[in-house]
Structure 1
Amino acid sequence: MKLSEYIEHDATGLASLVKAGEVTAVELTRLAREAHDEVNPTINAIIEFYEDAETVAGEDGGIFQGVPFLRKDTGATEAGRLQEMGSRLFKGNRSKKDSFFFQRARAAGLRCLGRTTTPELGISGFSTSILNGVTGNPWNLQRTAGGSSSGSAAAVAAGIVPIAHGGDGAGSIRTPASWSGLVGLNPSRGRVSGGPDRQDPMFGLVRQFVLCRSVRDMAAALDVFSGPHPGDPFIIVQPNRSYVSELSQPTGTLRVGIARTRWGEVDIEPDVTHAVDATARLLEEMGHTVIDIDAPYEVEDACKIWFGLTNLGSGSLEISAQAMGRTLNAETLEPVTLKLSEYGKNLPLTYSQEVHEALRLMRLRVGEALHSFDIVVTPTMPTVALPHGGIYCATNPTISPEDFMKADAALYSQLSVFNITGQPSVSLPLAQSADGLPIGLQIVSRFGEEATLVRVARDLEEARPWRGRRPRVRAGSI
């Protein structure tokens, strides 16, 4: 197989070639390495391509047999591998355990070949860190690839691998999916176990999954990674059939809520509005009932929640620093992260109760506002990929922690709310701007109903296929 052929396949397609004996897992690893060597110096998506990549574990016969995979450098862990979380504070840190996520990945035949860039501790939605530099968007190197699953998104978009690990606590899979032209699902709370050490990150708001190029890969990944483990705090109802089998099931007629207006302070760009309108018309043509909806919550309330959650987690940084014999200062933390850690030191004991009550009220209000809809459609992001830097970047030395969180809540206003409610949501690359940048549309279903998302996403992919779109930087074309 040539590199030009490798990059044309999604993960399901590559796996089928391995199973048919037309290519081997080692050959795919070498092609991924070739793609890496060609484009990674340009996009800076992968910070470590494992030296032993050709011998990494992966079960034969799994659904993704032999497919190259990458790990976001925070969240799910691989025993013995570096996990530095985009932070100088964790430079040289090695994980002691395999997460259940990577146990399942190997059992499915995925070969993890390296780790990808992330902003420090996953705090920012931009693809920049002091430790690892800037990750460029393959569609336009002057624009961010999104975050915090930055390098994973850029690597998949540029053709290094067809699928990669990501994590989403407030939009960290869906943002880079939207800005990098990919499929990015944030599963229901409890759908994918975070164990054995991270079953309840940020009270269940953070979930692990993947970024990929096709809906069938998304469905297959749901089959691979779904399922509880003993001790998980959130046990969700399991599906009646596999998610791959949902690809052949009828969708039925749905009641669809369409969000055409902004939910935060950031205006929706005209190209994005056009994409929402076009998707609404398409869904009506498919026979669904489409109803316009307003924002189901106040963005100021979400800002308070995220600021509160971040402050509550600041104490763990002090513990981590002590364990490594380091201190929290400007040499170990980026400006915004350091300010947030200092802010959280003197909080009253009642602060946690206030945050939990705010979370409860948000879930209640959004649930009541949206319960009558089978799915909700929103812009994933109000804009196309933004230039690097600025107020949304945690390396910014001048912004206050309050202003950073306010800006963050406004830009990601249609994403983080569904981390709070626990609902599954997927960004699909259904449109492009006039100058060729990807535009993602977010589809949200009821809690636990990923099957609905699989069927609707399949319908939209068939009606508005995106496979033929190509970023400017892509392996095999340089």
Structure 2
Amino acid sequence: MLRVTAFPPPSEWRADPVATASSLTTRRSVLAGGTALAALGLTGGGAGAAVAARASDALGDHDALGLAGLVRAREVSPGELLEAAIARAEAMNPRFNFMAQKHYDFARAEIARGLPDGPFTGVPWLLKDLAAYIEGLPTEGGSRLNKGQTGLFTTELVQRYRRAGLVVFGKTTTPEFGLTGTTESALMGATRNPWNPERIAGGSSGGAAAAVAAGVIPAAHATDGGGSIRIPASCCGLFGMKPSRGRTPMGPFRTEGWAGFSTHHVITRSVRDSAALLDATHGPEAGSRYSAPSPEGTFLSHVERDPRRLRIALMSTPASGAPVDPECLAALNAAAGLCESMGHHVEEAAPKLDAAALGQASFVLIASSLAADLVDRAKALGIELGPDVLEPITLGFVGYGQTTTGADFARANNAMQSAAVAVAQFMENYDVILSPTLAKPPLEIGQINLSPGVPFPEWGQRAAMFSPFTQIANFTGQPSMSVPLGMSADGLPIGMQFTGRYGKEALLYQLAGQLERVAPWSGRRPVMT
């Protein structure tokens, strides 16, 4: 039987940083407590209303570990938390459009059958609607091509979530096959940012980020093949860790995605939730060709441990030379100053990389991988791939992928290996690279979606100019996190990206925990009136 890394012991379930922070901002939003839910017509009267209010308050005031602690203490039941999360989803989804699928009765049945005893028992959970299968339930990947298609198996990651006690009650939106940094699709429409509904929530895990930012749940599943955890975390003012390549399972259908670029993890409000969820899910799976080295102790144990004095490389200009918005640069300088105030050494430095060559290599690897999957899928369904089932930019990827050769793929893979070596050599002198997560604050809806009304090259330039910092960690396999440290003058979140050495998530969690204590963000929530 596959051995899964042990869950952290109760002694490591520390004080809830969300519950201990001021909840004033939370209570100013329409999600605050049972009073707001009653105003929305989502609770009944009497004792039932009191129970609903208590569960809803818990969702707003606690992170996922905090909720699990309430369940263990019998202060709230899994069923009460589930119904409160459903009520919040029903209240907020019409505004922000983050729910791709609703599996409420499935979740109720899971609770009725009895939940396993894990670190997150009874905590409501949302899966991203991409590469996270449950046997018998749909996984559509944001595409009309897969509309109504059900999973033939349950993925290993989902099995680990369920063993940890999480209760899946739906799936969140994604752009078609996760191909862009915004969550807009012909299948589902646009997912909107709770901080400003005219702005994107980021992508491709924008549905997960919008659900967490809107207060539906404190953490949600996400994936990252080019920034898809960190981009929406930055856009929505949340914490997002992309783990090292090989850290979390992808199978059993396959154990690698997009030539190793893609990995699974979560978007969270608190750092400790991210660490504990990685404790619950990391480790090799059957058929793994490689896996990231295990940490010393649990990831959670590192969150409250200040790191040693770190050498931080400050990267203010992306390898591509793309311009960076002055507000993002100001937030970067503030983050650098914060790190220096905590005793770390910060200096301007960056690895030397050929961004154009790497961009072309990544296009070859992603397009050929996507083309192989979708052409085979179309054959199995007996249909033709065209604009009735795929969006224009997706069709562009597929068309290009069908022209690539095996030699093209090998050369592109070689380029990525060379980049990984170059960055690893650079990081022999540094522990962390600090950059903005994005070159701009969250964009307006309709700029980088997959049906943009502009030629493929113009779309590609727009996407690359928005997110020129995130892809490198996907190419090299390094862990990288977006930390919500900045805000624009317009009140939009600006995340800072910290990228570590391969396999060193524990050190990043130490730094993230230190940042969370020195510059807490849990009380900073969107005001949704």
Partner of 2:194: 138
Corresponding residue to 1:28 among 76, 81, 95: 81
Which piece of structure 1 moves more, 358-367 or 415-424?
358-367
Residue equivalent to 1:465: 520
Please give the per-residue CA displacement for 1:113-144, whole angstroms capped at 9, x wherever unaligned: 10111000100111200000011100000000
Q: 1:350-361 alignment to 2 at 5 Å?
A: 350-361=407-418
Q: Which runs of 5+ in 1 are unaligned?
A: none
User: Which residue number corresponds to residue 140 of structure 2?
Assistant: 84
Q: Distance in 2 between matches of 1:65 and 1:364?
A: 41
Distance 1:409 1:419, change over 3 A: same
Amino acid corresponding to residue 442 of structure 1 in structure 2: Q
Classify 1:356/1:418 alpha carbon distance in 2 versus 1 (closer, same or farther; 3 Å). same
Deviations along 1:154-183, whole A, 9 cap, x unmatched?
A: 001101111111000000000000001111
> How is 1:277-292 mapped onto 2 (pairs within 5 angstroms)?
277-292=333-348
Output aligned runs, 1:130-169, within 5 Å: 130-169=186-225
What CA distance in whole angstroms lies between the structure 1 residues aligned with 2:496 and 2:73? 35
Amino acid at match of 2:359: C
Q: Is the 8 A contact 1:19 1:61 kept in 2?
A: no
Q: Which of these residues, 391, 405, 420, is aligned with residue 363 of structure 1?
A: 420
Length, aligned pairs only: 472
1:351 Cα deviation (Å)? 1.4
Aligned to 1:421: 476
1:70 is aligned to 2:126: yes
Q: Return 409-418 or 158-167, whichever deviates more.
A: 409-418
Residue 46 (structure 1) aligns with: 99
- Asked if the contact 1:302–1:409 (Cα under 8 Å) also holds between the matched residues in 2, the reply is no
Question: Do residues 373 (structure 1) and 426 (structure 2) align?
Answer: no
Q: Distance in 1 between matches of 2:450 and 2:445?
A: 11
C-alpha separation between the residues in 2 aligned to 1:451 and 1:290? 20
Looking at structure 1, the residues matched to 482 and 403 of structure 2 have their Cα atoms a distance apart, in angstroms, of: 38
Q: Is this contact kept in 1: 2:191–2:200, CA < 8 A? A: yes
Q: Could you tell me how far 1:112 is from its partner in structure 2?
A: 0.8
1:345 matched to 2:402: yes
In the superposition, relative to structure 1, how do residues 182 and 215 fare at CA in structure 2: closer, same or farther (>3 Å)? same
**1:299·1:413 contact (CA, 8 Å) conserved in 2?**
no
Q: 2 CA distance for matches of 1:74 and 1:135?
A: 15
Q: CA shift at 1:336, angstroms?
A: 0.8
TM-score, with normalisation over the residues of structure 1?
0.95
Q: What secondary structure, in the 3-state scheme, does the structure 2 residue paired with 1:7 have? A: helix
Give the distance between the partners of 1:70 and 1:51, measured in 2 at CA. Answer: 11
Q: Which of the numbers 102, 126, 131 marks the counterpart of 2:158? A: 102
> How much has 1:78 moved relative to structure 2?
1.3
Which of 197, 205, 209 aligns to 2:261? It is 205
Find the counterpart in structure 2 of residue 335 from structure 1. Answer: 392
Counterpart secondary structure, 1:336: helix
For structure 2, the residue ranges without an aligned partner over 5 or more in a row are 1-53
> Percent of aligned pairs with the same residue?
38
Alignment correspondent of 1:325: 382
**Alpha-carbon distance in structure 1 between the residues aligned to 2:462 and 2:419:** 19
The 1-side partners of 2:122 and 2:523 are apart by: 24
Asked if the contact 1:50/1:114 (under 8 Å) is kept, the reply is yes
More displaced stretch, 370-379 vs 340-349: 340-349
How does 1:218-257 map onto structure 2 within 5 Å?
A: 218-257=274-313
Tell me whether 1:448 sits opposite 2:474 in the alignment.
no
- Could you tell me how far apart the structure 2 residues matched to 1:367 and 1:60 are? 41
State the secondary structure of the residue aligned to 1:257: strand
Letter in 2 for 1:441: M
What's the C-alpha RMSD, in Å, of the aligned pairs? 1.5
